[in-house]
Structure 1
């Protein structure tokens, strides 16, 4: 059993979701998803083990028992004010251009935006708050649809191609926001700015291509100065 499988087993026994674990240890849900898909470890190992009520040594290498004698299965999830729908703004920029270098699996939260449940339902439907995040776009390849500096709201629960749309994805070591479209049996990567050429995710690219989220809506940074 490798690290990812041990983590999956510990989460199942604790009744932990990806979003719940991410919130508990201060990670992005997409980072937890990566840990569950072939990762060999995490810099947040001790915090994850504590949150899931397992021994760090077992989670890291499989050595020894899963839990200390008498330890209880416990998931330490922060309480959420049910009167508000809270969306985290993350310190990450997705490139609508040639790609932003991905340097770490830990993404820091800058701030949070709170909505009433009625506002949230109108904006995000029935999506849970822990799957909706805000990130900033840099680059102009999606200009006209998403402009440089705009903030986009993304659904991090979507980690696979879920029909034509705009997605945040990693290709190799770079993070992108682009339009994905299935053309026959190939996935086309499209830019709404015609200056940028179409390219394709080819067979054999599976190890390099990972969808992190699907874009729900954007918030423009258009300012108008008076006086």
Structure 2
């Protein structure tokens, strides 16, 4: 029973190595390639990461789709063909754009988390020039930045219902006072967190909501999903 398991593990490892080399030749840089493939195949980055980490080999249909994106064949990725057929550098990004996609709240929060109507999807993505993105997001990689529209009024005064917020999903722990999207005991919140000695104050900028606290015993059930960086008003003005 051990030998087949060893062979399967070897096959997965070799697949991941061939996949990485194929991406290199096609011009997909190591940073961001998993997110790019996930976006094109409409999969989660976590699913795609298993292929690059030697944890899994995609099934036939997905394997063929993956190979087509890279510009090679599924038989090459499986090691059955030495010729890759890849046009070198054909996936290099040629435009000066910085794309921000929608934040998948449910995927970030996890199964079992109650996602109420605090967030809504209004725009699927926004593209910036790299120069403008650098000014707005401070040089952070595009795959760290996501956006979503706020629906609740608990942070009114800072941003209003239907305003868009831009968050850094690479921040998954308390990173100083600020506004966070976080999960506590299977409930999802967007609140201002402020450290006060050995506890965190959970503050709604709308003063009709009371401040409450996360104390030592609650920290184990606190999970940070993202930190809010920027907000943008969606107020409409009609001129005709």
TM-score in terms of structure 1 length: 0.64
In structure 2, relative to structure 1, the CA distance for the partners of 1:119 and 1:164 (3 Å cut) is same
Structure 1 position 216 matched with structure 2 position 217: no
Conservation of the 8 A alpha-carbon contact between 1:142 and 1:193 = yes
Partner of 2:63: none
Q: How many residues align?
A: 176
Partner of 2:176: 163
Partner of 1:49: 50
Partner of 1:115: 128
Residue segments in structure 2 that go unaligned for 5+ positions in a row: 1-12, 21-28, 59-76, 81-90, 107-112
In structure 2, relative to structure 1, the CA distance for the partners of 1:28 and 1:168 (3 Å cut) is farther
Secondary structure, counterpart of 1:205 in structure 2: helix
| Separation in structure 2 between the aligned mates of residue 53 and residue 127 of structure 1, nearest angstrom | 28
Greater length-normalized contact order (CA 8 Å, ≥ 6 residues apart): 1
Residue segments in structure 1 that go unaligned for 5+ positions in a row: 1-9, 33-43, 58-67, 72-77, 94-99
Partner of 1:41: none
| Separation in structure 2 between the aligned mates of residue 113 and residue 219 of structure 1, nearest angstrom | 12
More helix by share: 2
| Separation in structure 2 between the aligned mates of residue 190 and residue 140 of structure 1, nearest angstrom | 13
In structure 2, relative to structure 1, the CA distance for the partners of 1:112 and 1:49 (3 Å cut) is same
Deviation at 1:88, TM superposition (A): 0.6
More strand by share: 1
Partner of 1:196: 209
**Superposition RMSD on alpha carbons, in Å?**
3.6
Partner of 1:136: 149
| Separation in structure 2 between the aligned mates of residue 157 and residue 55 of structure 1, nearest angstrom | 24
TM-score in terms of structure 2 length: 0.61
Greater CA radius of gyration, 1 or 2? Answer: 2
Partner of 1:25: 38
